[in-house]
Amino acid sequence: MNAKTKKLVMAALFAAIACVATAVLVIPIPSTGGYLNMGDAVVLFGAFALGPVWGAAAGGIGTAMADVLLGYTAYAPGTLVVKGLMALAAGWLFQKMQHFGTIKTAVASGIVGECIMVLGYFLYESTLLGYGMAAAASIPANSLQGLVGLVIGAVLAKSVLRRKQLI
């Protein structure tokens, strides 16, 4: 199997895992009508493992599919873009900063990615969904989800990627 085909297959696998991690491992948040999930960990790990472009495709598509499956179809376009940008930035920084070591690089690039996620959802909800400043109510839950995703994604990166066996 050539390298491009292998990347495509791995991206499809990461998209499926991101969808399951987002749709199955769900903790509802009654105050916002949203939910916490483990999808961010897979989005970040996919960005670290696949690189920025394939990671963005996998993370955006997988988590958007979960929104559709869970009935949050209004969020699917925003999720596709927000999680895609999150993975694109995190994956790009991870590649550029690898000389610092896997865990430090994963944490630093993951923080940037998660900040993009929190800000991206706020902008999507406040403008395109029309919630205005009420969208700020989702910032704490998105930040918590981002923190959990960052920790799990960084641990996965440290334990798996240093072996260079995944991709």
pLDDT tens readout for residues 14-62: 999 999 999 998 888 787 677 788 999 999 999 999 999 999 999 999 9
Buried b (16+ CB within 10 A) or exposed e, 50-75: bbbbbbbbbbbbbbbbbbeebebeeb
Q: Which domains does the chain have, with CATH numbers?
A: 3-161 (1.10.1760.20)
Q: Phi and psi (nearest 5°) for 27?
A: -120, 110
Instruction: List, for residues 1-16, the tens digit of each pLDDT value.
Output: 798 999 999 999 999 9
Global confidence as pTM: 0.92
